[in-house]
Structure 1
Amino acid sequence: MREFFKYVFATVVGVVISLALFLIFIVVLIVGVVKTSLKEERVNVSNNSVLLLNLDQAITERTAEDPLSRLPIVGSDGDKSIGFNDMIRALKKARTDDNIKCIYLSVSSPQAGFATMREIRDALIDFKTSKKKIIAYSEVYTQGAYYLASVADKVYLNPEGALEFKGLKSETMFFKGALDKLGIEAQIVRVGNYKSAVEPFFAEKMSDKNREQVTAYLHGLYSTFLDGIAKSRNISTETLFQIADDYKIQQPKDALAYKMVDELKYKDQIIEELKALSGTVKKNNLTTISINDYARNVAKDQNTSGDRKVAVIYANGDITGGEGSDEQIGSERISKAIRKARLDENIKAIVLRVNSPGGSALASDVIWREIVLTKKVKPVIASFGDVAASGGYYIACAADSIFVQPNTITGSIGVFGVIPNFQKLFNDKLGITFDGVKTGKYADIMSVDRPMTAGERLIVQNDVNRVYDSFITRVADGRKKTKAYIDSIGGGRVWVGTDAVRIGLADRTGSFNDAITAAAKKAKIKDYTVVEYPEMRDPFKSLMENTTDKVRTYYTKQELGASYQVFQQIKSAISRSGIQTRMPFEIKVQ
């Protein structure tokens, strides 16, 4: 027995020591990574450099420094990200940088929406005015990848590779059957026949109204997609449509035959061509600098001093109350940023950059109020990214002017609420029952262990109607339209940017930089600097606060793979509370 306890004690001590050493190693490693990530060293740009433009990384609204992504146990090249704003600034700088001789565009499956991709395409088109060449190469081009690559002077495909060109699709997952099996009823209260965010919870297929709007916006996206490729490749949109419709690109040789690519080449051949373009001696290695490093250099050169500034306020992600995060619009945090910019006398104009499907109606109204107050003292221009729908549109509708991309998803002026009823799940599946007492008829309103009464449903419906009336009133005032007109184009309907301009929900199509230029012009300033709000969260603090969540997210992604998006949608749906001004669906076009 004594020997047994001796071995047990030795084992426990060994485990404790090993664990302590492991924790010390992790702490040291994290500190080292953080210090490395926060160094202010510039990356040297050599003569005859090739700018490596990797577009397979996550392209976000702003570049976030994430020290954890550099840990070998968690991070990888696929976890890199860059803000489209920094990328565009870098491309503009590269256009006149004598050290940058050409661009090597590497893209297979970009992680960005169509409006963001258009911003990048336009920046690449501008780069080409320098007469410097852009070479695109990939073993596989998805449709989004080809949309970006098509702007290059030469588009190359691996001889054994693939080019996907088949048209766009949009698909919605419906949960009604699963909820029925679980004994869960989704009690829906909404305004707007097109407000289909709740359809997956009570239907098994798309309603006619939903199908109508999805068909309209999908064709709008497709039109912009084909037009861009047609202009770059000098192929008519009709021909491109037919190529996709008949699925004519099945082999690499088909892509060459239909002039979708210029040649079929291997990577070594691409390197030799890049050497020739950059003036590199054949026997020497190619000198490259990544867009991430180059953009970091450009960011450090930005001058944010001066007494004439244009503030860009980023509103990115779901809208919620409280502080939110860099990927979520917290009404408290964004409101503070707007107030700070309003009270700063050196800031002469504001650009509200919105990329949001909406969220909490209350939080949206809190932000809207700050925009209204700010517009009284200085110009406010809104710039919409991939999506500015429902609450995302709400917060910006009071702006002096609204800029969209032709393929921006916007509108969705509608309101809904979902109150789940778990009675059958509790009673029939789990054998759980509830009983209690109350002092008022509606003391237990919103209970999830029973169906709503007629009186409760009326109360909730009245509240939803009230929020919707406020919503269309805000939009009508901001857009100088009647409430009746806004109601006629509202009802939860989603529009693409070109249609939004046509019906008056936006003022013009234009890029993010166009919006900044317009803001400066309205403020009557010429020489100005651009400052960004709200301040990005400290990466070290974020690392220490959210390491567990990030590690959990990483491994969940690894386990679920392509199904991770479905997991996110379900998790998001069950976590929502309060009345929502949210886009009818999450758009991922493939």
Structure 2
Amino acid sequence: MLQFLKYVLATIVGLLLFMVLGFIILAGIAAASTDDTVKIEEKSVLELKLNEPILERSPRSPFAELGLSDVLGETGIGLDEIKASIRKAKTDDNIKGILLNLEFMQVGMASLEEIRNELVDFKKSKKFVVAYSEVATEKAYYLSSVADRIYLNPSGTLELNGLSSEVMFFKGTLEKLDIQPYIFKVGEYKSAVEPFILDKMSEPSRAQTTSFLNSLNDFMLQNLAKARNKSFAEVKNISDSMLVHNAQDALKYGLVTHLGYYDEAMDYMKTKTGTQKKEELNVVNLGKYRKVADVNKKSGSSKNKIAIIYASGEIVGGKGDENTIGGEGMSEAIRKARLDKNVKAVVLRINSPGGSSLASDVIWREVMLTKKVKPVIASMSDVAASGGYYIAMACDTIVAHPNTITGSIGVFGMLFNAENFLKNKLGVTVDRVKTGKFSDVPSVTREMTEYEKMHIQREVERIYADFTTKAAKSRNMSVEALRKVASGRVWSGTEAKQRGLIDVFGGLDDAVAIAAKKAGLKKDEYRLRSYPEQKSFLTNFFDDAEAQVRTYSLQKELGTMLPYYQQYQQLERMQGVQARLPYDIAIQ
């Protein structure tokens, strides 16, 4: 009887949860199907609280403005949406200023730069920008530095101590497990394989990481110095010496303008907007403001289009998904833009550390075919390295930020021999029957012969030769000159431009402007069209429900170790020779 009651109770709970979820979905659909426009009251302030991961494009979800994104596993906000809202607020008479309420920002350096540049442009309207933080991390402070007033909580902290990058090594782990790695690579800087054969960075790897980190850091400090009316040397000394330990230090060294609480920042903005002190300030969040009609937006009546093709994530074979660049799927998107007679130019927006060299080459071919009939411009975001550079190099013009991470022109392959692990640790042995001497190549259950290793190494070298030859031709360089800046070395955008690997500094908007000019289109003679088409929310929700639940569970179980588990999964997905960054670079 007790067991029966348990089943009944479980069924009731399940039905209730299903009903609640169904209600939420229906409410979201209803919200999405109603009039998309909302009205903003006079004397309002747009609040940017950018605490979600910042993606290239916002996920298509009707729940963003309902505040239910986290509940349903749909997290992230689009860089496109942030920039469009700031631009819209600039000419919106009802918006008197912007409040930056920032702490821990999950954003790449180049994306951060695009938001910052948009805020600098917003200030030309003579409207105010106020920043408030309780914990101002390096990225949050960099964005806040453009504000007219910077409030830091009196008990808060401000981080300004430089950038760092850490690499975890697994050589000792593999030795303990009796697993033997086989490494095949070209390029002394192609250090993606180092974590499996070394216990610390090689000198070439350390040299390249030191170089591009210093380049990124110097660029950031130069902009900070300009924003806060200080010399570069002064700001660099504050950072290198870690002179800021608390809020009082931040005020002492002029990094913030005021120590104050959130309500004090609100009171100041009331005076700026003409709001009575006893009245509530009209604060509009980004989720709501994105639905406000933009009176300055083009009507979209022109038949002429510029296609923006978003290539975000690891490059893999097949169709790919919202988080990866599939060789087949991306090629289809480029082909679709090429065959559309109304598309007059293409902008390939790349945010990728690379991946499969084969898939990269498949995409490269589609870019080459497209540039024969219409201009193709590459817009590099946070990262466009190795395979990411491969698909960019065929474009007519490459646009990147000084703090974009790019280069890494090199390839590698990696296999493992788990024979001793299976035998000595698990008591498992393997026997085989084969029709030919090499029928079981590659195998993870036996040692490779010298001939087999030579065969794979030659293939890696062939792919590298093909990569560098194509890159040299695209960049109008000799192969010898190109290989001097290749060898798998990672560069900042600043370093890459000095070495002829990119053409112009700028963001996505600059790339679109270049594409329009090459296509002979004036500003009011085209509209933008994004590819690949994003899946609807419901399609994503039901397709990814299992993955979302699994990710949520892993986050709870693994906590801060989740990124390392994801790196392992990434390694497991690798097929064939890879053209990708040496490791996942997370700028801290």
Q: Which residue of 2 aligns with 1:348?
A: 344
2:441 equivalent to 1:445: yes
How far did residue 563 of structure 1 move? 2.2
Tell whether the 8 Å contact from 2:37 to 2:293 is kept in structure 1 after alignment.
Answer: no
Of the three residues 101, 108, 112, the one matched with 1:113 is 108
Tell whether the 8 Å contact from 2:381 to 2:404 is kept in structure 1 after alignment.
Answer: yes
Of the three residues 44, 48, 69, the one matched with 1:49 is 44
Q: Which residue of 2 aligns with 1:370?
A: 366
How far did residue 175 of structure 1 move? 1.1
Q: Count matched residues.
A: 585
What secondary structure, in the 3-state scheme, does the structure 1 residue paired with 2:287 have? helix
2:200 equivalent to 1:210: no
Structure 1 residue identity aligned to 2:408: S
2:411 equivalent to 1:415: yes
2:585 equivalent to 1:587: yes
Tell whether the 8 Å contact from 1:416 to 1:464 is kept in structure 2 after alignment.
Answer: yes
Q: 1:536 to 1:424 in 2, by over 3 A?
A: same
What secondary structure, in the 3-state scheme, does the structure 2 residue paired with 1:297 have? coil
For 2:481 and 2:35, the matched residues in 1 are separated by 53
What secondary structure, in the 3-state scheme, does the structure 1 residue paired with 2:378 have? strand
2:341 equivalent to 1:325: no
What secondary structure, in the 3-state scheme, does the structure 2 residue paired with 1:234 have? coil
Q: Which residue of 1 aligns with 2:530?
A: 532
Q: Which residue of 2 aligns with 1:276?
A: 271
Deviations 1:57-103 (A, max 9, x none): 21110011246889999825997422112211221121111111000
Structure 2 residue identity aligned to 1:129: K
Of the three residues 453, 457, 465, the one matched with 1:469 is 465
Structure 2 residue identity aligned to 1:215: T
Deviations 1:3-32 (A, max 9, x none): xxx554454445445434443443343333
Q: 1:39 to 1:550 in 2, by over 3 A?
A: farther
Matches within 5 A, 1:570-585: 570-585=568-583
Q: Which residue of 2 aligns with 1:489?
A: 485
Deviations 1:211-257 (A, max 9, x none): 11001101011111101101100111111111112211012111111
What secondary structure, in the 3-state scheme, does the structure 1 residue paired with 2:226 have? helix
For 1:264 and 1:459, the matched residues in 2 are separated by 65
Matches within 5 A, 1:81-480: 81-297=76-292, 303-480=299-476
For 1:279 and 1:416, the matched residues in 2 are separated by 62
Moved over 6 A (4+): 68-74
Deviations 1:440-487 (A, max 9, x none): 111011100122111111111111111111111221121111122211
Q: 1:40 to 1:302 in 2, by over 3 A?
A: farther
**TM-score, length basis structure 2:** 0.96
Q: 1:311 to 1:453 in 2, by over 3 A?
A: same
Instruction: Provide structure 1 residue ranges, at least 5 long, that are not aligned to the other structure.
Output: 1-5
2:57 equivalent to 1:62: yes
Tell whether the 8 Å contact from 2:330 to 2:532 is kept in structure 1 after alignment.
Answer: yes
Deviations 1:395-450 (A, max 9, x none): 11010000010000001000001101111210110010001211111101110012
Tell whether the 8 Å contact from 2:38 to 2:293 is kept in structure 1 after alignment.
Answer: no
Tell whether the 8 Å contact from 1:52 to 1:104 is kept in structure 2 after alignment.
Answer: yes
Q: 1:10 to 1:102 in 2, by over 3 A?
A: closer
Tell whether the 8 Å contact from 2:181 to 2:417 is kept in structure 1 after alignment.
Answer: yes
Structure 2 residue identity aligned to 1:250: H
For 2:454 and 2:475, the matched residues in 1 are separated by 31
Q: Which residue of 2 aligns with 1:550?
A: 548
For 1:460 and 1:586, the matched residues in 2 are separated by 25
Q: 1:455 to 1:325 in 2, by over 3 A?
A: same
For 1:40 and 1:329, the matched residues in 2 are separated by 34
Q: 1:15 to 1:440 in 2, by over 3 A?
A: same
For 2:222 and 2:454, the matched residues in 1 are separated by 48
How far did residue 333 of structure 1 move? 1.5
For 1:46 and 1:454, the matched residues in 2 are separated by 74
For 2:52 and 2:428, the matched residues in 1 are separated by 48
Q: 1:186 to 1:41 in 2, by over 3 A?
A: same
What secondary structure, in the 3-state scheme, does the structure 2 residue paired with 1:329 have? strand
Q: 1:154 to 1:13 in 2, by over 3 A?
A: closer
Tell whether the 8 Å contact from 1:57 to 1:78 is kept in structure 2 after alignment.
Answer: no
Q: 1:252 to 1:18 in 2, by over 3 A?
A: closer
Segment of structure 1 superposing worse, 255-264 or 21-30: 21-30
How far did residue 393 of structure 1 move? 0.5
How far did residue 336 of structure 1 move? 1.1
How far did residue 578 of structure 1 move? 1.2
Segment of structure 1 superposing worse, 512-521 or 35-44: 35-44
Tell whether the 8 Å contact from 2:36 to 2:291 is kept in structure 1 after alignment.
Answer: no
For 2:404 and 2:52, the matched residues in 1 are separated by 21
Q: 1:563 to 1:71 in 2, by over 3 A?
A: farther
Q: 1:38 to 1:354 in 2, by over 3 A?
A: farther
What secondary structure, in the 3-state scheme, does the structure 2 residue paired with 1:395 have? helix
What secondary structure, in the 3-state scheme, does the structure 2 residue paired with 1:135 have? strand
For 1:533 and 1:187, the matched residues in 2 are separated by 39
Deviations 1:25-55 (A, max 9, x none): 4334333334435545323211111010112
What secondary structure, in the 3-state scheme, does the structure 2 residue paired with 1:349 have? strand
For 1:487 and 1:232, the matched residues in 2 are separated by 39
What secondary structure, in the 3-state scheme, does the structure 2 residue paired with 1:460 have? helix
For 2:155 and 2:190, the matched residues in 1 are separated by 45
Segment of structure 1 superposing worse, 196-205 or 35-44: 35-44
Instruction: Provide structure 2 residue ranges, at least 5 long, that are not aligned to the other structure.
Output: none
Q: 1:247 to 1:79 in 2, by over 3 A?
A: farther
Q: Which residue of 2 aligns with 1:3?
A: none
What secondary structure, in the 3-state scheme, does the structure 1 residue paired with 2:543 have? helix
Tell whether the 8 Å contact from 1:416 to 1:580 is kept in structure 2 after alignment.
Answer: yes
Segment of structure 1 superposing worse, 466-475 or 96-105: 466-475
Q: Which residue of 1 aligns with 2:497?
A: 501
Tell whether the 8 Å contact from 1:90 to 1:298 is kept in structure 2 after alignment.
Answer: no
For 1:408 and 1:402, the matched residues in 2 are separated by 12
